[in-house]
Amino acid sequence: MLIVGVVLTLGIPNMSEFTRNSRVTSTANDLHAAFHMARSEAARAKTNVTICASANPMAAGADCGGTWDQGYIIFFDINADQLRNAVGETVLRAVPAAAEGITLAVENDATYFMYASSGLGRRDVATNVPISRVMICDDRGTIETSQDFSAARLFVSTPLGRATVIRDLTAVDAALLAMGKNCP
């Protein structure tokens, strides 16, 4: 009985931390995978593909509007207007709301990113600013978890559409300061 008590005393706090890390990592990886999918689909189908924040991503009539933590959709954007309003603008993937306790702080409050038929990012769409950096965090903020890694994740998309996720504590803190956002 003593051994079980010791194992539970040491194991439960570690399992809680593991769960929190998994939620942040999962959210960052889902966003990263969405960008890769959108890029490859744009090049494959030779048409514009948009990723946008959506307040109703899992609905049959999902459309753009909302915040990234509410979810997002990836769709063929045939007329390049960042709206799902033309025939053939099929949703390729819908991602539901972020897990409870996860916050997404988006630079410039951007709500979309579009890939052109070449598979490269399009930045010439109306006056909307495309997504470039997203801080993904929970109530721990950007504290150091181990070996100069942050509890938060920084998602970065270049103007050409290359995406990456950064965990380096110094880079995460510098980006958060430059973005003028808080985490959480």
Q: What is the pLDDT of residues 49-75, one digit of tens each?
A: 999 999 999 998 999 999 999 999 999
Q: What percent of the chain has pLDDT over 70?
A: 91
Q: How far apart are CA 82 and CA 87, in angstroms?
A: 14
Q: Give yes or no for residue 156 having a pLDDT over 80.
A: yes
Domain span at residue 21? Answer: 2-179
CATH code assigned at 36? 3.55.40.10
Q: In the predicted model, is pLDDT for residue 165 greater than 60?
A: yes
- Please say whether the beta carbons of 148 and 168 come within 8 A: yes
184 is a domain residue: no
Number of helices and strands (H, E) in the chain? 2, 10
Three-state secondary structure call for residue 72: strand
How many domains does the chain divide into? 1
Establish if 69 belongs to a structural domain.
yes
Name the helix (H) or strand (E) containing 5: helix 2-45
Its pTM stands at 0.87
